[in-house]
Amino acid sequence: MKTTDPQNEVFPIVNEKDKVIGKITRKKAHQNHNIIHRAVHVLIFDNKGRLLIQKRSLTKDTAPGSWCASSSGHVGYHEDYLLGAIRETKEELGIIVRPAELELLGKILVVAPWEKEMTQVYKVILSKKVSISPNPEEITKIRFVDLKTLHIMLEQELWAPSDTQVLNRFVLNLNNLGTDRRYSR
């Protein structure tokens, strides 16, 4: 199946200290797991403490049909992490978040069989009912899950490798940061 992801999109190449040292296209970034590029995750919780998760579209160029965290994506070459988080949340879910609503949780270097990403992670709590409009080019299904259900799903369902690492570190506070061995692109 043909991907809907723009293969000529340009990302910054960074070193392990997150210093920009070059640029690379999406296509080339996903063909070399030794080159680090930037990504962002936004973990969206409702006022009951449940996490919004999504199932990726089958037209995604990496991890199609896998479950993943609320909102995630690459940071563009002339973009910072915060702007990437705001853009991705609107692009994927139709949710507009303001910078002050995003709580920075930290940064993690995530590794998948096809890429390596310096990933900054944010959290937002929806304090009121918000209209969520999943983009069908990005997402096939969304749902809110409690942490017990999330833990079970991480064991039993197919997840994007970067998401297992982010969720284990920032939501479940586990130290197992390896990639999901069941996943093959």
Alpha-carbon distances, residue 57 vs 4, 21, 33, 64, 138 (angstroms)? 9, 32, 22, 6, 5
Alpha-carbon distances, residue 162 vs 22, 130, 181 (angstroms)? 22, 27, 12
Q: Residue 75 is part of which domain span?
A: 10-170
Nearest to 84 by CA among 23, 39, 118, 123: 39
Residue 40, in any domain of the structure: yes
SS3 state at 36: strand
Question: What tens digit of pLDDT does each residue of 147-184 get?
Answer: 999 999 999 999 998 999 999 999 998 544 333 323 23
Residue 1, in any domain of the structure: no
Question: What tens digit of pLDDT does each residue of 34-76 get?
Answer: 899 999 999 999 999 999 999 988 877 676 788 999 999 999 9
SS3 state at 24: strand
Q: Any idea what the CATH number is for the domain that residue 101 is in?
A: 3.90.79.10
pLDDT of residue 174: 56
SS3 state at 165: helix
Residue 27, in any domain of the structure: yes
Tokens of 100: 């002050």
Q: Counting beta carbons within 10 angstroms of the beta carbon of residue 136, is it exposed (0 to 12), middle (13 to 18) or buried (19 or more)?
A: exposed
CA pair distance 124, 39, nearest whole angstrom: 17
Q: Which residues pair with 69 in a beta bridge?
A: 53
- How many domains does the structure of the chain reveal? 1
Residue 30, in any domain of the structure: yes
Question: What tens digit of pLDDT does each residue of 119-136 get?
Answer: 999 999 998 888 899 999
Residue 184, in any domain of the structure: no
Question: What tens digit of pLDDT does each residue of 69-103 get?
Answer: 999 999 999 999 999 999 999 999 999 999 999 99
Residue 140, in any domain of the structure: yes
Residue 182, in any domain of the structure: no
Tokens of 128: 């009121």
Tokens of 160: 């994007």
Residue 179, in any domain of the structure: no
Nearest to 160 by CA among 140, 182, 138, 132: 182
